[in-house]
Every structure is written in C-alpha cells, then in structure tokens.
Amino acid sequence: MNVQDRSLLDLFSLGGPVMWVLLGLSTIGLVLFVERALFLHRGQIRTTQFLEGIKNIVRKRRVVEALTVAEETPGPVAAMVKAGLLHYEETEDRIRAAMTEAALVEIPVLERRLGAIGVIAQVAPVLGLLGTILGMIQAYQEFEKGGAYATAGALSGGMWQALLTTAAGLAVGVAARLGHHFLAGRMRALVYDMEWVANDVLRFLVAERSGAGGETPPAAEAAPGAGPDQPSGKP
C-alpha cells in the first residue's frame, strides 16, 4: 500500500507516540497565534486620524473629552496618549515620564506569548528528530529479530515512524517560525507608532499649554515687586 492509498489517520498512527506530542504543540501554537493576531489587530488603530482628533479636542480646551476618547480607544497608542493627557497641567518632564511608564506597561503585554510560539518553533524539529531516532531503533530491532530472513514489511513500521515524525516536526516548526515572524512584525509596528505618538503628543501638549497661557514664558514674567503702576524694566 502506497502513501496515496493511506488516510491521514493511518499515517498519523504510523508516526508513533511522538506524533501526538507534535499534534499537541501544533494545536497550542495555533491557539496562541490566533489569540495574538486578534489582540494585535485590535491594537492597530488609525494612528494619524486618532491623533488629529485628540489634538482638535484639546485645542478646544476639552481635555476631559479627549481623555474619554483615549480611554475608549483600544490599543497601546491610546493608552500612552491617555497617560499624557492625565498630566496635561504638569511639567514637560512629568508628561514624558508618564508616557514612558505607560509604554513600560504596554510593551510586555504586546510581547506576551510570542516567546511560547518561538519555543514551539525550536522544539518541534527536535521532537521530529527524536521520533526519527525512535523509528530507526524500532527498525533495527525488527531487523535483528528477523535476522537473515528480515523482510521489508518488518522494517517498514520503524521507517514510517522515522520519516513521518521528521516531516511533521519540520512542518510544525516552519509554521510556528512563520507565525512568530508575522506577529513580531506587527508588534514592532505598534512599538514604532508608540514612539512616534509619544514624541508628537509631548510636543503638542507643551506647545498648546504654553500658547493657552498655562505657563508664562520667562521673558514675559514681571520683576519682583513690580505693580501695575510700577514698571519692571529699566527707566
């Protein structure tokens, strides 16, 4: 019976116990990939449009409304903007520190479970190699039992196990590696958006607050003791 005449279930059973381990790893990897892909997709917002909307609201002096919009928007970018808006009335260094703290919270959330997918990509081919070795051991045992009268049929069980586990291990490993690469790319794109938004929001909030009179520029400050009828400059 050739490969075309065998069902997938038959081939799976010929692969031996290592195939069950590989099946479990592939299932876990698929679940992790789908969960991470959906999570990163929800966090990928239209950054430029979101930021312009926040700026327009802040220009109208409706900071609370801007905070509400940022809170209702999913993703790490919105979380950083919210952190900056919460400290709108404070110093530039405090705003920067608040957004940095928000980034330190959000980035590990983005990286969560990516390491597990990377481990599956590394372990699956090794398990396939283990199945190959076990299959070869089984084939040699059958050969030893048969002696000079050992047939191809007696050796085929071990050879099937060796070949099938190698193929399955490589397939799971390649799929996991591709999935990890895809998710890592999406995560890097989000981190880049976070860095760009943090710099842009910081400059905007400081400039907007200064323009609104939140901070008096040093050149416009009155000298100590100068009143409305007493000029502060030189005579």
Report d(CA 155, CA 189) in Å as an integer.
Answer: 52
pLDDT score of 224:
39
Could you tell me the pTM of the whole model?
0.74
pLDDT score of 154:
59
CA contacts within 13 A on the Cβ side of 97: 6
Residue 88 is given by DSSP the state T
Average model confidence (pLDDT) across the chain: 81
Report d(CA 190, CA 187) in Å as an integer.
Answer: 5
* pLDDT value at 216 more than 70: no
Residue 61 is given by DSSP the state T
| Pick from 29-33, 75-79, 216-220: least confident | 216-220
Report d(CA 91, CA 71) in Å as an integer.
Answer: 22
Report d(CA 29, CA 17) in Å as an integer.
Answer: 19
pLDDT score of 6:
61
Question: Average pLDDT, stretch 33-39?
Answer: 94
* pLDDT value at 212 more than 70: no
Report d(CA 117, CA 146) in Å as an integer.
Answer: 44
Return the C-alpha torsion angle 189, 195, 196, 199, nearest 10: 170
**Residue 191 and residue 110 in contact, taking contact as beta carbons nearer than 8 Å:** yes
Report d(CA 109, CA 90) in Å as an integer.
Answer: 27
98 or 144: which carries more pLDDT confidence? 98
Q: Convert the pLDDT of each residue in 127-181 to its tens digit.
A: 999 988 988 887 777 767 665 555 656 566 677 888 889 999 999 999 999 999 9
Given pLDDT bands bounded at 50, 70 and 90, which one contains residue 220?
A: very low
Percent of the chain with pLDDT over 90: 30
**Residue 19 and residue 12 in contact, taking contact as beta carbons nearer than 8 Å:** yes
